Amino acid sequence: MKHKLLHFLFRYGAIFVVIGVFIYFSLRLDNFLTASNIGDIMASISIVTFVALGVTFSLIVDGFDLSVGSTVSLTTVVTASMMVWYEMPMLVVIGVPLLIGALVGLLNALFIIKFRIPDLLATLAVMYIIAGIHKTYTKGYSINDHMLFPDGSKAPGVISTSFQTIGQGEFYIGSFTVPIPVIFMLLAIVAAHLLLRYTRFGRQLYMTGGNREAARLSGIRVNRIRTLAYVISGVCAAIGGILFTSRVGTGEIDAGAPLLMEAVAAVFVGFSVFGAGKPNVFGTFVGALLIGVLVNGLTMMNLQYYTHDIIKGTVLVLALSITFYVVNRGRSSSS
As its CATH architecture, domain 13-330 has Orthogonal Bundle (1.10)
Residue 207's pLDDT band, with cuts at 50, 70 and 90, is very high
pLDDT at 18: 86
Distance from C-alpha of 120 to C-alpha of 63, rounded to nearest angstrom: 8
Give the dihedral sign, CA 19/22/24/30: negative
* Neighbour-count burial for 76-114, b at 16+ CB within 10 Å, e otherwise: bbbbbbbbbbeebeeeebbebbbebbbebbebbbebbbe
Query: pLDDT, tens digit, for every residue of 257-284?
Result: 999 989 998 998 887 776 567 899 999 9
pLDDT at 325: 66
Above 70 in pLDDT, residue 123?
A: yes
pLDDT at 271: 79
pTM of the complete model = 0.94
Query: pLDDT, tens digit, for every residue of 88-116?
Result: 999 999 999 999 999 999 999 999 999 99
What is the rounded average pLDDT of the residues 193-221? 96
Distance from C-alpha of 97 to C-alpha of 220, rounded to nearest angstrom: 30
- Alpha-carbon distance values, 188 to 4, 51, 139, 181, 311 (Å): 34, 11, 34, 10, 29
pLDDT at 276: 61
pLDDT at 213: 95
Above 80 in pLDDT, residue 228?
A: yes
What is the rounded average pLDDT of the residues 292-317? 86
- CA 315 centroid distance within chain: 19
What is the rounded average pLDDT of the residues 307-323? 77
Percent of the chain with pLDDT over 90: 73
Residue 327's pLDDT band, with cuts at 50, 70 and 90, is low
Above 70 in pLDDT, residue 117?
A: yes
What is the rounded average pLDDT of the residues 68-82? 98
Query: pLDDT, tens digit, for every residue of 140-184?
Result: 999 999 999 988 899 999 999 999 999 999 988 777 789 999 999
Cβ atoms of 184 and 178 closer than 8 Å: no
Q: Domain map of the chain by residue range?
A: 13-330
Residue 323's pLDDT band, with cuts at 50, 70 and 90, is low
What is the rounded average pLDDT of the residues 278-303? 91
State the average pLDDT for the chain: 91
Query: pLDDT, tens digit, for every residue of 22-40?
Result: 999 999 999 998 988 999 9
Above 70 in pLDDT, residue 130?
A: yes
Q: Are strands 176-179 and 170-173 parallel, antiparallel or unpaired?
A: antiparallel
